Structures are given as C-alpha cells and as structure tokens.
C-alpha cells in the first residue's frame, strides 16, 4: 500500500472526517433538527465506509475510469482532483469486505444515500418524511458493522459518552429482532406440528429429496451458492443462500495432481424452508434463529497452469 497517498483517499483522514460529521449529526439531534441529523449522519456513514475500503487499499475508493485517480491511489500524485466511487458502488464493495454487511444492511445504506441525494439535489424533502424509529437503529447497526471490520467500535468513533445512547438503541434493536425471530420460528413450528402425523411424515420425506441446485427459484435474490440446513422450526431439510467471502487452496495435494481442493467460505443472506414456509432475511435474523450464517465447504476443480515462456 502506498505510504504517500493523497489525503482525499487516505483511510485515516476519511475516518477522522467521518468522526467530525457524526459529531455534527449528534449536535443537530440534540438541537431537535432531525432533518440535518439524518443528513450529517448519511454523510458520516459514506465517509466511514470509504475509510474501511481505503484502509485495505486506496484504489478501492477511486473511480476506476479516471486514470489520474488510479495513479494517486498508487502513490503517484498527478492531480488533486481525485474522483471517488459512488455510494452505490461503495456499499456493493463493502458487502464483499465485511461479512455481516449483508444485502439487508446494504439496501438500508443505499436508501439513506439516495434520500440524501434527493435532499441536496432536488426540491424534495425526504428526510422530513422519515420517522426517527424508521431508520436510526438500523443506521447504528450499519455503522457498528463497518467499525467492527476496522477493529474499532461505536465507543471509539463517537467517544464513550456520546456512544451510550446508540449502544443502548442497538441493544434494544437486537433484543427486538431476537424476540421477533423467536416468535416467527415458534409460529412455523406450531403450524407444522398441527398437521396430522402422516402429513408431517410425507412432507419430511419430500423435503429430503430436494437438492440445493434446484432451489434457486425460492429465493428473492441471486447469490453465489445455495446449501442445505435443518429448519429450526419443522426440522425438515431447508436451504440457505449467500455470498462467497473467501477461499483458500488446500495444501494437502499431490505435486503431480491436475485437480486442487479449494476451501470456500460463504455468509448466509437468505434462509427459506419450502416445508413450513419459514423465511429469514439477513445474517442477523439467521443468527437470531440459532442457525450459523457462516458456511464452509470444499470444491475440487482443475488446476490452472501458467504457460511456459522462453523454453522454445
């Protein structure tokens, strides 16, 4: 990573500016100006996300179509007019960097960025129509998720005193989510157990015949992989899907082999049970149900070899 990267895409500078902006946001909340609270908060969130990417490498936050910015990301300061990625691209990239930054969190972040753009660039007043309880808890959850990936926390980002209220709000939101998921699972379980025994046995047998590769149609989104899980409600074979977050080549292989074993890791985004219709969206709901949102498997694939040059 270049040491002399321009301040506009320096991870520490972006992080510091995000702290200034979230401080302004909380000041506006204290003054009762909830429109500006959300405005400054949305700006702070985008800066925080860019800080997380820039700390991995500055090239992750510059516009790849602007060659001058790519040079700056490499430590060659050919311009001060650095162009960075859009909020949409930012949150898409964070979804591949931060395990718990799932589709649900990504959509929330994109929505608040779009409201900010409408607030700044049109006559619309989208912040005024948003109730505080409709966005605040999810905002702190998204921020906390990014900060955790950066090895930081709300307490460090806001200062211990200022973080007390968001942390309490996060705890309350987590408890509410856990309670809601528990009730959802119990309702699905009761509905399944209310069926006659012969019907339950028939449905269980049918579930065992279902294969992951044939379940794409039951999910709302498109993901990298589908795998089977035991449903926490009816105990039948159900399915989860998610994005791949990493892979490693297994070291246990023959030097003359033409196949290699790859250890892959996925983060669950969506769970569905075709038998009892239980649905869980996002890693937080999956985790609250008692299922693991982390999935690991092995894949065997043909090895790729670099062509030999200069041996003619």
pLDDT in tens, 272-284: 999 999 999 888 8
Q: In sequence order, what DSSP letters do the residues of 258-280 get, joined into one string?
A: SEEEEEEEEEEEEEE-TTT--EE
Q: State the pLDDT at residue 119.
A: 87
Is 131 strand, coil or helix? coil
Output the pLDDT for position 5.
63
Say which CATH architecture domain 7-158 belongs to: Up-down Bundle (1.20)
Report pLDDT digits (tens) over 207-262: 999 999 888 888 887 888 899 999 999 999 999 999 888 888 776 655 666 777 88
pLDDT for the residue 115: 93
What are the residue boundaries of the structural domains of the chain, listed by start? 7-158, 175-302
Write down the pLDDT at residue 124: 85
Q: What pLDDT does 304 receive?
A: 64
Question: 73, 2 in Cβ contact below 8 A?
Answer: yes
Across the chain, the runs of DSSP E, i.e. the strands, are 225-230, 237-249, 259-272, 279-281, 294-302
Spell out the residues 6+ positions from residue 298 whose beta carbon is closer than 8 angstroms to its own: 250, 261, 262, 263, 264
Q: What's the pLDDT score for residue 253?
A: 58
Q: So what's the pLDDT on residue 60?
A: 93
Segment (H or E) for 176: helix 160-193
pTM, two decimals, is: 0.69
- Please identify every stretch of the chain with a pLDDT value under 50, giving residue numbers as ranges: 312
């Amino acid at each position: 990573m270049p040491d002399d990267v321009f301040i506009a895409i320096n991870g520490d500078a972006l992080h510091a500016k995000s702290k200034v902006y979230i401080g302004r946001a909380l000041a506006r909340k204290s003054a009762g100006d909830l429109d500006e609270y959300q405005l400054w908060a949305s700006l702070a969130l985008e800066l925080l996300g860019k800080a997380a990417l820039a700390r991995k490498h500055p090239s992750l936050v510059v516009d790849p179509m602007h060659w001058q910015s790519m040079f700056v990301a490499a430590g060659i300061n050919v311009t001060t007019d650095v162009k960075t990625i859009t909020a949409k691209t930012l949150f898409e990239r964070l979804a591949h960097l931060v395990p718990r930054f799932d589709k649900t969190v990504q959509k929330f972040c994109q929505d608040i960025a779009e409201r900010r753009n409408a607030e700044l660039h049109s006559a619309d007043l989208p912040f005024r129509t948003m109730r505080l309880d409709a966005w605040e808890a999810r905002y702190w959850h998204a921020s906390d998720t990014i900060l955790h990936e950066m090895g930081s926390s709300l307490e460090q980002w806001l200062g211990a005193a200022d973080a007390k209220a968001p942390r309490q709000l996060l705890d309350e939101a987590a408890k509410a989510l856990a309670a809601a998921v528990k009730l959802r699972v119990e309702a699905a379980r009761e509905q399944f157990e209310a069926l006659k025994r012969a019907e339950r046995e028939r449905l269980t047998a049918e579930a065992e015949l279902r294969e992951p590769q044939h379940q794409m149609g039951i999910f709302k989104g498109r993901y990298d992989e589908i795998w089977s899980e035991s449903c926490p409600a009816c105990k039948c074979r159900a399915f989860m899907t998610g994005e791949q977050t990493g892979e490693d080549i297994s070291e246990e292989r023959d030097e003359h082999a033409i196949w290699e074993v790859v250890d892959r890791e996925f983060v669950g985004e969506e769970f569905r049970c075709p038998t009892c219709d239980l649905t869980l969206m996002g890693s937080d709901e999956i985790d609250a149900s008692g299922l693991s949102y982390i999935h690991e498997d092995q894949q065997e694939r043909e090895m790729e070899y670099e062509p030999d040059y200069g041996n003619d």
